[in-house]
Amino acid sequence: MTPVATANPTGGFDPYEQRIVMGGELLRQDRVTEARAEFEAALEVRPGDPKALGLLGLTLFRLSDFQGALPVYRELVAATPTDPSLRMNLGLVYLKLGQADEAIDELTHSRDLDPSQTRAVSYLGLAYARKGEYAKAYQAFLQAGQSDLAREMEQYLTPEEREAIVAQVTGRRAGTPSTPPPMREDAAPAEPTPAPAAEPEVEPEVEPEEEEIHDLAELGAEDISEEEEAPAAEQVVEFEAEPGTGSMAGIVIEPAAGQSAVSAAVESAAPSAQVAKAAVRTAAGAEPPIPLSEFATRRLIRPEDGDHAFEISAGGVLIVRVDGRIISRTEGVIVSGGELAYETATRRVRGAATNSPFAGDGRPMFFVTGVGHLVASPLGEHFTAVNLDDDILYLREDLVFAFEEQVRWENGNVPGSNEAINMVQFRGHGAVAMRSHRPLLSVKLAPERVLYVDAEALAGWIGRVVPRLVQPAAGGKSSAPFVECAGEGVVLIEEQIGEQTGAHPES
């Protein structure tokens, strides 16, 4: 096959592309030394170019020039530190050079960046074995499915050590999340939670001006008050290959006479070759297939990696982490993990639990207990998570998605007519997650001023805001109910989708 160079707009040939295409063709023909010269020439035209560097690094690997490949991959990783393939290749260079500590560091980074890559885990096991950390090597080989390499590590471990590692690895694989209860409007409420001890009453700083604002005016005042034994290794692990014949992408384990499987695996280990595809031409305006590792990590969600109770992740999904008990909805939950139990939550009024389900619009809240996580889709809407630090937040009930148990909360409403707006008050310390059509707007409410908010747009408020639902006397769309807000604080507004009605008083 004759390589084809790319013409530049002036009618000549781009010398960089010419070198890359020529080098790629020579590499495919296994004319590695000649390919190296072409890639080095391409770097003279474009110093530091990642495509040429990646191809040069691969070529140096093919030539077993690991000392020469080391600065190449260091430069690539420094330019793109979040690329798991580059991290893996650099770790493999260190492994080939016998620098186990550096190899472990880079391969650990690669594994953490892309958990789907078993090659990095296998190479990590080789690095641990080279360092003499046989328990960690055994665990890595089991996780990567390298049965014969795992067997070689068994001779350095006690039966108890092997059993503990096998139980740990298989336990992670076998963990099955509990299934959330069905979403039913007629779900039976849970037994009421015992009411917390009453707090001492404190007179509110500002008395409501209107007598009929009794519910949320009172709410806003200060007076709110034995495990199974782990199975043995022989019972759990099923080895697929006979000793000495196992293989994986990049490793062929065929030990020579007197050679260990680990030594054979290190000798045959090869870097990620995806950079070689960079030399293959793509039609103008077309997109080639992306590497699988890039596809796996482009929108990767890591529910077990963080410490926050709530976290907004790729695609706008909400991660809810449970360690004990949390209150959450379950509609839109697309993934769950761990050991979780669900119990229908009930409303809380003036510090006491009621028999009424906490279920606005037929969408119940649940007490979720155990250790695990939920991943909820925004369902075309927008998640927001906020942290309270001895703050007071009022939020419309249908916007509340989840909150931590340590946050004190009460159910109430905006009084003033029969069309009450159900609200939830949060106070104290902890996190609250909400799901709204769009990110909420906030409007400052100054003292001795009044705001009139469309009742459908009112999302909540922060601070000492006194609300009152008002029904205008006139009819028509312009006379939709509105909320009169007095006091001081910030009023939260949810932008409505579709026609707006406008909020203003009419006599």
Domain containing residue 34: CATH number:
1.25.40.10
Domain end call among 408, 436, 464 = 436
For residue 367, which of 400, 345, 393 has the smallest C-alpha distance? 345
Provide the pLDDT for residue 87: 92
- Residue 231 falls within a domain, yes or no? no
Q: How confident is the model over 232-256, as a mean pLDDT?
A: 42
Q: Give the count of domains, the chain.
A: 3
- Residue 4 falls within a domain, yes or no? no
Provide the pLDDT for residue 185: 39
Provide the pLDDT for residue 279: 53
Asked whether residue 411 falls in the same domain as residue 319, the answer is yes
- Residue 73 falls within a domain, yes or no? yes
Q: Are 129 and 153 in contact (CB under 8 A)?
A: yes
Provide the pLDDT for residue 251: 55
Asked whether residue 390 falls in the same domain as residue 471, the answer is no
Asked whether residue 251 falls in the same domain as residue 382, the answer is no
Provide the pLDDT for residue 332: 92
Asked whether residue 206 falls in the same domain as residue 342, the answer is yes
Provide the pLDDT for residue 235: 34
Provide the pLDDT for residue 433: 96
Provide the pLDDT for residue 90: 94
How many angstroms separate the CA atoms of 115 and 100, rounded? 21
Q: Is the pLDDT of residue 127 over 50?
A: yes
Residues of the domain holding 401? 176-225+296-436
Q: Is the pLDDT of residue 458 over 60?
A: yes
Asked whether residue 432 falls in the same domain as residue 445, the answer is no
Asked whether residue 186 falls in the same domain as residue 167, the answer is no
Q: How confident is the model over 435-449, as a mean pLDDT?
A: 91
Predicted confidence (pLDDT) per residue in 209-241, tens digit: 333 333 444 444 333 333 334 333 333 333 333
Provide the pLDDT for residue 253: 61
Query: Higher model confidence: residue 129 or residue 261?
Result: 129
For residue 114 the two structure tokens come to 């892309």
- Tokens 């880079």, located at residue: 106
Provide the pLDDT for residue 28: 84
For residue 431, which of 320, 314, 294 has the smallest C-alpha distance? 320
**Per-residue confidence at 182, pLDDT binned at 50, 70, 90?**
very low
**Per-residue confidence at 257, pLDDT binned at 50, 70, 90?**
low
Asked whether residue 183 falls in the same domain as residue 150, the answer is no
Predicted confidence (pLDDT) per residue in 302-326, tens digit: 888 888 999 999 889 999 999 999 9
Q: Are 492 and 462 in contact (CB under 8 A)?
A: yes
Asked whether residue 357 falls in the same domain as residue 251, the answer is no
Domain end call among 401, 416, 436 = 436
Asked whether residue 30 falls in the same domain as residue 146, the answer is yes
421: three-class secondary structure by DSSP = strand
- Residue 283 falls within a domain, yes or no? no
How many angstroms separate the CA atoms of 58 and 46, rounded? 18
- Residue 468 falls within a domain, yes or no? yes
> Within 10 Å of residue 321's Cβ, how many Cβ atoms?
19
Asked whether residue 117 falls in the same domain as residue 214, the answer is no
Provide the pLDDT for residue 403: 96
Asked whether residue 402 falls in the same domain as residue 327, the answer is yes
- Residue 233 falls within a domain, yes or no? no
How many angstroms separate the CA atoms of 373 and 179, rounded? 12
CATH code where residue 321 lies? 3.60.160
Q: Are 349 and 411 in contact (CB under 8 A)?
A: yes
Q: Is the pLDDT of residue 430 over 50?
A: yes
Q: How confident is the model over 366-391, as a mean pLDDT?
A: 94
- Residue 491 falls within a domain, yes or no? yes
